[in-house]
């Protein structure tokens, strides 16, 4: 079947529907949803029962980049700075030095066991050197793993921030494969340019985005998530256009925004969570359509050998060396090593050699695809088991039955109180978002002139307003009352 304008929506929506339905029950059988999305794409492809002809690496790369924007941005928005701050250094070392060591170790092994040149081998090592944000975020959160001593924030920070390093290494070694006489100095300069500009512009666009979101006045609440999407793509493309790393920029920008007071923040977070899942499905379906299973079979042997070396040797070596600078138990290092999931990102990066037209591009793509599949199958299905074996998991907390989830607000629920805004309070004529209330309090309703006002981030507080507060604990009321009773500065 050839995809046309007339049938692409029908085919796409059917594949999306099947993916959601199949994914709903996948964990009953211990299979990660991402591998099922990939399998559905393969079954629908030219070698499968669907017979859909799709052989466009450029389009697949474009879909991959757009999808990664949403996945990384959503992951950043969900990152709590208070939990990340204690493990920031080790997370950043893992996402830079760890990725570099993985690429070099695996590249040397590939060079030893294949007929690849050293630069081609290092290119393959670079492509699969980073852990995949989509796979890690999806599997850790869907399995709801409770891990000890900030282990989960470490894994999520590493996976969310290590794609830029792998991207730079991929471009660097691809350049050396194409032009082996290229000066190494230019590669080093490109690395520092990408990382420094990406970091600085990501933080700068984060502050600018917060200002725009909170100061612009839109008539409809639903436009705020659309505004954030626009700011996300501006951050990525503007950073990329000046030679910075766009992936690093959007991740830093989103982490900053996720830890700020924003208008309609709850709406924004929920929209990006849904979009991240949509993009994961679309990305894996697209990559499944792009691959030809019949072409992978000849490389399964060497692919399995490289994958096993990556999982059991290259990844552990890089983790243990990277974490030598930090006091850490061996079992914690071992678990970080095991959660070295490869997923869609390496496959997207493998399209760069295809588009560059290098000799072994198809071989590299098929091996990378096989490595990603085996990684998700082997590591993704055993995260809970290894957490128990290594004693890094926490006892499972009581969960709310799924059928009741939609009726319970994700808010503090210990106490509900009311407080009146004094006439001379600093809060008068200020928006709720500008009050910077403690995390322990949430305004659920405002009583004003005998009527009830539904509060939002842009709602202006007036004198004599009665705020109905939902609090973590009774002591929070005194803190809130003290804050709101502060007189207007003159």
Show the domains of the chain with their CATH numbers. Answer: 8-389 (1.20.1530.20), 411-484 (3.30.70.1450)
Q: Residue 203: what pLDDT? A: 95
More confident residue, 126 or 440: 126
Among 180-194, 226-240, 257-271, 307-321, whose mean pLDDT is lowest?
A: 180-194
Q: What integer is the mean pLDDT of 125-152?
A: 75
Per-residue pLDDT for 403 more than 50?
no
How would you write the chain as a 3-class SS string? CECCCCCHHHHHHHHHHHHHHHHHCHHHHCCCHHHHHHHHHHHHECCCCCCEECCCHHHHHHHHHHHHHHHHHHHHHCCCHHHHHHHHHHHHHHHHHHHHHHHHHHHHHHHHHCCCCHHHHHHHHHHCCCCCHHHHHHHHHHHCCCECCCHHHHHHHHHHHCHHHHHHHHHHHHHHHHCCCCCHHHHHHHHHHHHHHHHHHHHHHHHHHHHHHHHCCCCCCCHHHHHHHHHHHHHHHHHHHCCCCHHHHHHHHHHHHHCCCCCCHHHHHHHHHHHHHHHHHHHHHHHHHHCCHHHHHHHHHHHHHHHHHHHHHHHHHHHHHHHHHCCCCHHHHHHHHHCCCCCHHHHHHCHHHHHHCCCCHHHHHHHHHHHHHHHHHHCCCCHHHHHHHCCCECCCCCCCCHHHHHHCCCCCCCEEEEEECCCCECCCCCEHHHCCCCCCEEEEEEEECCEEECCCCCCECCCCCEEEEEECCCHHHHHHHHHHCCECCC
What is the average per-residue pLDDT within 146-169? Answer: 82
- The mean pLDDT of 211-215, rounded to a whole number, is 90
Q: What is the pLDDT of residue 281?
A: 84
Tell whether the model's pLDDT for residue 292 goes beyond 70: yes
Output 233 or 164, whichever has higher pLDDT: 233
Write down the pLDDT at residue 490. 47
Mean pLDDT over residues 212-220, rounded? 86
What's residue 5's pLDDT?
Answer: 62
Segment 192-204 mean pLDDT: 92
Higher local confidence (pLDDT), 367 or 2 = 367
Average model confidence (pLDDT) across the chain:
82
Could you report the per-residue pLDDT of 442-477, keeping only the tens digit for each? 777 888 887 888 787 777 888 878 888 777 666 666
| pLDDT score at 406 | 38
Would you say residue 13 has pLDDT above 60? Answer: yes
Hey, which of 172-186, 283-297, 301-315, 471-485 has the most confident mean pLDDT? 301-315
Q: Record the tokens describing residue 272, joined without a space.
A: 């990006």
**pLDDT above 70 as % of the chain:** 86
Is pLDDT of 305 > 90? yes
- pLDDT of res. 6: 64
What pLDDT shows up at residue 206?
95
pLDDT for the residue numbered 238: 96
334 has a pLDDT exceeding 60: yes
What is the pTM (predicted TM-score) of this model?
Answer: 0.78
Q: How far apart are CA 153 and CA 85, in angstroms?
A: 9
Considering only 3-17, 21-35, 195-209, 234-248, which range has the smallest mean pLDDT? 21-35
pLDDT, one tens digit per residue, over 232-248 is 999 999 999 998 999 99
Residue 410 has pLDDT above 50, yes or no: no
The top-scoring range by mean pLDDT among 159-173, 291-305, 311-325 is: 311-325
Question: What tokens were used for 474?
Answer: 């009774």
* Mean pLDDT to the nearest integer, 36-55: 77
How much of the chain exceeds pLDDT 90, in percent?
Answer: 29
Mean pLDDT calculated for residue range 95-107 = 94
The average pLDDT across 201-216 equals 93
Segment 315-340 mean pLDDT? 90
Tell me what the mean pLDDT of segment 284-310 comes to: 89
Looking at residue 210, its pLDDT comes to 93
Across 112-116, 247-251, 313-317, 380-384, least confident range: 380-384
**Mean pLDDT along residues 329-356:** 89
Q: Which of 20-34, 189-203, 264-278, 438-452 has the least mean pLDDT?
A: 20-34
Q: How much is the pLDDT for 476?
A: 66
Mean pLDDT of 147-161: 80
Total residue count of the chain as it appears in this document: 490
Mean pLDDT of the 388-414 span? 54
Q: How confident is the model at residue 174 (pLDDT cuts 50, 70, 90)?
A: very high
């Amino acid at each position: 079947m050839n995809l046309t304008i007339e049938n692409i929506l029908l085919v796409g929506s059917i594949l999306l529907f099947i993916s959601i339905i199949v994914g709903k029950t996948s964990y009953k059988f211990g299979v990660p949803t991402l591998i099922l999305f990939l399998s559905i794409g393969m079954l629908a492809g030219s070698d499968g029962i669907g017979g859909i002809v799709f052989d466009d690496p450029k389009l697949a790369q474009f879909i991959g980049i757009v999808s990664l924007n949403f996945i990384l941005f959503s992951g950043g928005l969900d990152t709590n700075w208070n939990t990340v701050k204690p493990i920031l250094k080790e997370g950043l070392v893992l996402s830079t030095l760890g990725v570099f060591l993985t690429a070099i170790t695996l590249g040397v092994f590939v060079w030893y066991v294949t007929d690849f040149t050293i630069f081609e081998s290092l290119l393959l090592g670079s492509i699969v050197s980073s852990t995949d944000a989509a796979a890690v975020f999806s599997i850790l959160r869907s399995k709801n793993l409770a891990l000890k001593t900030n282990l989960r924030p470490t894994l999520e920070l590493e996976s969310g921030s290590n794609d830029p390093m792998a991207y730079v290494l991929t471009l660097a070694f691809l350049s050396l494969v194409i032009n082996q006489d290229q000066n190494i100095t230019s590669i080093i300069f490109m690395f520092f340019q990408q990382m420094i500009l990406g970091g600085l512009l990501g933080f700068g666009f984060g502050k600018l985005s917060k200002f725009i979101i909170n100061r612009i006045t839109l008539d409809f609440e639903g436009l705020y998530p659309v505004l954030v999407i626009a700011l996300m793509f501006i951050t990525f493309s503007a950073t990329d256009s000046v030679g910075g790393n766009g992936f690093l920029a959007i991740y830093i920008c989103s982490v900053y925004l996720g830890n700020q007071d924003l208008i309609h923040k709850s709406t924004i977070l929920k929209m990006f969570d849904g979009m991240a899942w949509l993009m994961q499905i679309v990305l894996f379906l697209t990559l499944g359509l792009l691959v030809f299973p019949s072409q992978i079979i000849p490389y399964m042997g060497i692919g399995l050998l490289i994958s096993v070396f990556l999982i059991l040797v290259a990844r552990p070596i890089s983790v243990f060396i990277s974490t030598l600078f930090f006091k850490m138990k061996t079992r914690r290092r071992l678990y970080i090593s095991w959660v070295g999931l490869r997923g869609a990102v390496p496959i997207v990066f493998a399209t760069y050699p295809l588009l560059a037209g290098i000799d072994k591009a198809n071989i590299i793509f098929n091996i990378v695809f096989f490595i990603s599949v085996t990684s998700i199958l082997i590591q993704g299905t055993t995260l809970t088991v290894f957490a128990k074996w290594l004693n890094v998991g926490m006892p499972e907390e009581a969960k709310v039955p799924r059928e009741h989830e939609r009726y319970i607000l994700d808010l503090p629920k210990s106490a509900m109180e009311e407080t009146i805004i004094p006439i001379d309070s600093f809060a008068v004529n200020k928006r709720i978002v500008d009050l910077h209330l403690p995390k322990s309090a949430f305004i659920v309703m405002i009583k004003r002139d005998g009527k009830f006002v539904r509060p939002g981030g842009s709602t202006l507080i007036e004198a004599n307003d009665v705020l109905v507060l939902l609090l973590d604990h009774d002591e929070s009321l005194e803190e809130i009352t003290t804050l709101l009773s502060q007189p207007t500065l003159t």
